[in-house]
Homo-oligomer: A and B are copies of this chain.
Amino acid sequence: MAPDVHEANRQTVERMTSARPRLTTVGIARDEIPDMGERQLLHAGPPITWDRMSGPLRGAVIGAAIFEGWADNEASAAAMAAAGEFDFAPCHHHSSVGPMAGVTSPSMAVYRVENAEHGNAAFSNLNVGYGKVLRSGAYAPEVLAKLHWMNDVMAPMLATALAELGGLDLRALIAEALHMGDDCHNRCKAASVLYAKHLAPAIAGTADDRAAAAEVLTFLGDNALSVLNPVMAACKAMADAGHGVEGSTVVSAMARNGTDIGIRVSGMGEAWFTAPAPTPDGLYFSGFSSADANPDIGDSTITETAGIGAFAMAGAPAIVTFVSGTPRDALDATLEMYEITTGEHPHFTIPPLDFRGTPVGIDLRKVVELGITPRINTGIAHREAGIGQVGAGLVRPPVELFQEALVAYAEKYGL
């Protein structure tokens, strides 16, 4: 019998939007992330092997191998990777997400986000800021030193502060930031200062080392992406709550590994549908141009999957100074997404659209029928390993991805 797609999609979106993600703690990946192996490296996007990895993903793998002490330098790390000594797996296979390369190794500190409504959890590594950072493929000594500082100094302080606060309601934080000019993907400025504001009293009140507390608060407050990773984990927790509804054509994951872009669909189990990752259009940091751009990379498209990011750009006009375009384009981006989505978010609203709920729940059928693909706000990584982020912009996945998924759906459900 043909599935009741309408009802299945309604249920999917109802589950996604009723999820209540709370940031509960910061721990170590091997302890927190389900089934994390001792030689495992999680990465963004759909599955990929070393030989097909792009420069920034390779760079992040090299950095993580040195960070873990598995390799001494770039050459040995690359040789080990080529020899199959690391167990690569998508973050998404371990209830996790990571921005850009998304590489998460067993010793790295990670955020734990729990969905208080449906009981699932999701994870993400810590954000280290813009520019020359691991997630964009940089692995210089100062990059790794910063990672060690985050692991050794910042992470325990965050864990203590979160325990002191009894966790943090991320759905409320996102809702608030969407009224403060954020899209909560490429512009997380308000959300990050709100995050720092919540943590500040708990850090100041519990830290033994005043100088270290000041350093952590400066880093959290000055990095406009501080909260991106917990927000992504919140979106993963929300999207996962809607995954696995029989007959549903709603997209439950979109992710890029720098070579391929892949999607998963709520009613299609664990299958990935993939296509070559497109290259973003955008604005470049000083000294870089489109010739430096790697194809799109990162799990941060989980934000658009959950109804924020480019889907909420209408409320974030100032983002155009970072991703290109005009405030009118930002408005149009959101308006267009209502055409291909299933519902309007009951908790995430857009003031300039008279507080209309954000478009949420990308419907495969609508994407294919209308030929309108999801809009994505994204960072741009340099195509070579070792350099880092070079810009930010906009991108759309190819429609073939959705056509392929819809064909598979029709086969599975005998339509």
Q: Which residues of A contact B (CB under 8 A)?
A: 179-182, 189-190, 193-194, 196-198, 200-207, 210-211, 213-215, 217-218, 221, 317-318, 320-321, 326-328, 351-355
Contact A351 B211 (CB under 8 A): no
Smallest CB–CB gap between A200 and chain B, Å?
A: 4
Residues of B within 8 A of A189 (CB): 180
Residue of B nearest to A353 (CB): B327
Residues of B within 8 A of A353 (CB): 327
Contact A217 B201 (CB under 8 A): yes
Contact B197 A214 (CB under 8 A): no
**A318 with B179, Cβ < 8 A, contacts A193-B194, A351-B327 known:** yes
Residues of B within 8 A of A206 (CB): 210
Smallest CB–CB gap between A162 and chain B, Å?
A: 15
Residue of B nearest to A199 (CB): B200
What 8 pairs between A and B have smallest CB-CB spacing?
A: A205-B214, A317-B351, A204-B204, A197-B221, A200-B200, A201-B217, A179-B318, A201-B214
Residue of B nearest to A349 (CB): B318
The one of B196, B326, B352 in contact with A327, judged by C-beta atoms closer than 8 angstroms, is: B352
Given contacts A181-B351, A207-B210, A320-B351, 4 further A-B contacts (CB under 8 A): A180-B181, A201-B217, A205-B213, A327-B351
Residue of B nearest to A218 (CB): B201
Contact B205 A211 (CB under 8 A): yes
Residues of B within 8 A of A213 (CB): 201, 204-205
Residues of B within 8 A of A190 (CB): 180-181, 190, 193
Contact A215 B197 (CB under 8 A): no
**A221 with B204, Cβ < 8 A, contacts A194-B193, A318-B179 known:** no
C-alpha gap A201/B216 in the complex (Å) = 8
**A217 with B204, Cβ < 8 A, contacts A179-B318, A327-B352, A351-B181 known:** yes
C-alpha gap A190/B179 in the complex (Å) = 10
C-alpha gap A353/B327 in the complex (Å) = 8
C-alpha gap A182/B351 in the complex (Å) = 12
Residue of B nearest to A190 (CB): B180
Residue of B nearest to A203 (CB): B204
C-alpha gap A279/B352 in the complex (Å) = 28
**A215 with B194, Cβ < 8 A, contacts A180-B181, A181-B351, A352-B327 known:** no
Residues of B within 8 A of A193 (CB): 190, 193-194, 196-197
Smallest CB–CB gap between A345 and chain B, Å?
A: 16
C-alpha gap A198/B218 in the complex (Å) = 8
A sample of 9 cross-chain residue pairs with beta-carbon separation below 8 angstroms, ordered by A number, consists of A201-B215, A205-B213, A317-B352, A326-B354, A327-B351, A327-B352, A327-B354, A327-B355, A328-B354
Residue of B nearest to A214 (CB): B205
Residue of B nearest to A210 (CB): B205
C-alpha gap A196/B217 in the complex (Å) = 11
Residue of B nearest to A207 (CB): B204
**A318 with B197, Cβ < 8 A, contacts A204-B210, A213-B205 known:** no
Residues of B within 8 A of A180 (CB): 180-182, 189-190, 318
C-alpha gap A202/B215 in the complex (Å) = 9
Residues of B within 8 A of A214 (CB): 201-202, 204-205
Residues of B within 8 A of A354 (CB): 326-328
C-alpha gap A355/B76 in the complex (Å) = 50
